[in-house]
Structure 1
Amino acid sequence: MSAPTGLRAAHRQAQCAARADRDGGKRLTIAVTGASGTVGHAVTALLAPRHRVRALTRDPARAARRGLGGDIVGADFADRASLARACRGADALLLVTSDPLRPDHEDNVLAAARAGGVRHIVKVSALAVTEPDAQDLVTRWQRENEERLRATGMEWTLLRPRAFMSKTRDWAPSIARESVVRALYGDSRVACVDPRDISEVAARVLSTPGHAGRAYALTGPAAISPREQCAELAAAVGRPLDFVELTPREARDAWRRRYPEPLVRALLEMSRRQAAGGKAAVADGIEQVLGRRPTTFRTWARDHGDHFRAA
């Protein structure tokens, strides 16, 4: 079952390379932060065949074992000196930070990029920053990060995705052990997006002109509920799955085992917004950049069925 997924990934990479060839861009030096993460790893793979890619990671040895491409560079968000070495002479940088309790991380990367002569920064933010009723910790942090970036005077592009489809990978253990999916607000809907689409947009924006000063809203082609996601995953793994709706208290207790209390409160706030319909709208950013429709959750689930079967 792994062959179809691999073929799809190879086909996507070939398509991206072909589009880059048509664009006729020069060979660039591109730094990728968070290169071991979901988006950064894929962006590195897409860009490395045509550009000089510096893949920034805290653990180069582990990243190499995972097959990370490009020039693997050891760097830590808390260490400006390591970031400065990694950014020096780069044409563009992909900025992906993940800890809203550490706003200094964003400051450190921006300072290093500015000192290193980086011309263009592409930041992965969040679509919620455009929604006035979104006031949770994570969204406020991303709004502040966008303001920091604009204040640098460097060229910038903002990628604002909705929730990643890959968040459903958190359900893999209960699917494998019990054939059960447990989630809060089972009928709430979110226009979640395939992170492969985000990565392809990021690779295009980093390597071709015409995107400076623009913000792209990235969603899937339709809103889908956790209950409907469960049904699609059942088809992907080839057996029935039961959906169990968590209460807010049960969800909070589960999150407390993984996250600090400020993030737990933020997750509860974001979930309530989703239940109220605040995350269901579909945007066209992927079509604007790539000229095609976004990937459906059904396709994402089928491409990752092995993960859920083998968890």
Structure 2
Amino acid sequence: MILITGATGTVGRLVLGNLPADQPVRVLTRNAPRFPAHGPTEVAQGDYADPASLERALRGVRSALLVTSRIGGDDDRRFLEAARDAGVRHIVKLSAAAVQDPDADDLITRWQRTNEDLLRTDGPAWTLLRPRSFMSNTLSWAPAIRSAGVVRALYGDSPNACVDPRDIADVAVRALTEAGHEGQAYTLTGPEPITAAQQTRRLAQVLGIRLRFEELTPEQAGAHWLRRHPGEVAEALLHSARRQKAGAKAQVDPTLPRLTGRPARSFTDWATDHAPAFAVPRTADTPPATPATSARTARE
């Protein structure tokens, strides 16, 4: 039995969908009645803060995908204690590439390092997945693209070797179902470093529309994040953006192609497959732009 946590999230739902059809799977979710179980999937209602629900969810589980998101919380510790008591043999943990950067000392990265240390010292056999930023983060641009044909981001010329979540999920499935991944930490990146301005140009080409890129100031970006996150988290995001501007996230790692036997998906691949999510309406007086025009406009 494999247990999937975070099964409604970006990576967890892809892992669940890509596991072999005959693989017994259980999902830990807070909202069991809303979860669309299918095939051999069991649904266990529970929460990291509820030890009894963790005990029920982990009963008979051999391997688990561990995804936590409550920054600064102790969900990992609670899960690992329950997993150890239940006899779970292997945990695949979704972490982040930033943990390897000694200059990354923000709240989010410190929390991720602490969770990795807990798993290595107090957990069963482990595999760490350390992805760069998700290409799917650009979905947050969709409302402004639809309403104004604009992308707004901080440090538009700073590169990030961002990764397609589908590639992360492919590696997670291998780690959960194959032998030989125990004790490994995998840094997962896309095939190239790419900037927000370049992503805007590629989206324009894929969508066949004109897009404009507007660079936010640190003050504007900070104010935007403060509307969505606590102050320490907003400051952590600003710290991360400054590291990216300094080139800390530009390195391409060969691990993903080595594990999957194919190249990592590019941002153009991701954008092409997710173009409907941006759902740009067409009108008679706004003809589609050629790719060259889109690229020039996006660059202005």
The TM-score, its normalising length taken from structure 1, stands at 0.87
Q: 1: distance between equivalents of 2:214 and 2:34? A: 36
Which residue is 1:85 aligned to?
56
Which residue is 1:23 aligned to?
none
Find 1:256's aligned residue among 226, 230, 235. Answer: 226
Find 1:97's aligned residue among 58, 68, 74. Answer: 68
Q: CA deviation at 1:156?
A: 0.4
Q: CA deviation at 1:63?
A: 2.4
Which residue is 2:216 aligned to?
246
Q: 2: distance between equivalents of 1:69 and 1:125? A: 27
SS where residue 249 of structure 1 aligns? helix
Alignment map for 1:87-166 (pairs within 5 Å): 87-102=58-73, 104-166=74-136
Q: Which runs of 5+ in 2 are unaligned?
A: 282-300
Which residue is 1:290 aligned to?
260
Which residue is 2:279 aligned to?
309
- Residue by residue over 1:25-65, the C-alpha shift from the partner in whole angstroms, topping out at 9 and shown as x without a partner, is xxxx1001111111111111111513111111111223229
Structure 2 contact 44–56 (Cα < 8 Å) conserved: no
* 1:72 maps to 2:43: yes
Q: 2: distance between equivalents of 1:69 and 1:37? A: 20
Which residue is 2:162 aligned to?
192
SS where residue 206 of structure 1 aligns? helix
- Deviating beyond 4 angstroms after TM superposition, the runs of 4 or more aligned structure 1 residues are none
Q: 2: distance between equivalents of 1:161 and 1:91? A: 24
Q: CA deviation at 1:274?
A: 0.3
Structure 1 contact 44–69 (Cα < 8 Å) conserved: no
SS where residue 99 of structure 1 aligns? coil
Which residue is 1:225 aligned to?
195
Q: CA deviation at 1:109?
A: 0.8
Which residue is 2:9 aligned to?
37
SS where residue 180 of structure 2 aligns? coil
* 1:55 maps to 2:27: yes
Q: CA deviation at 1:292?
A: 1.2
Name the CA shift for 1:70/1:187 in 2 (closer, same or farther; >3 Å). Answer: same
Which residue is 1:7 aligned to?
none
SS where residue 177 of structure 1 aligns? helix
Larger Cα-atom Rg: 2
Q: CA deviation at 1:196?
A: 0.4
Structure 1 contact 136–266 (Cα < 8 Å) conserved: yes
Which residue is 1:215 aligned to?
185
Q: 1: distance between equivalents of 2:275 and 2:35? A: 24
Structure 2 contact 66–91 (Cα < 8 Å) conserved: yes
The alignment covers a number of residue pairs equal to: 281
Aligned sequence identity (%): 51
Q: CA deviation at 1:141?
A: 0.7
Q: CA deviation at 1:291?
A: 1.2
Which residue is 2:269 aligned to?
299
SS where residue 249 of structure 2 aligns? coil
RMSD of equivalent CA atoms: 1.5
SS where residue 34 of structure 1 aligns? coil
Q: Which runs of 5+ in 1 are unaligned?
A: 1-28
The residue type equivalent to 2:66 in the other structure is: L
Q: 2: distance between equivalents of 1:112 and 1:56? A: 13
Structure 1 contact 193–220 (Cα < 8 Å) conserved: yes
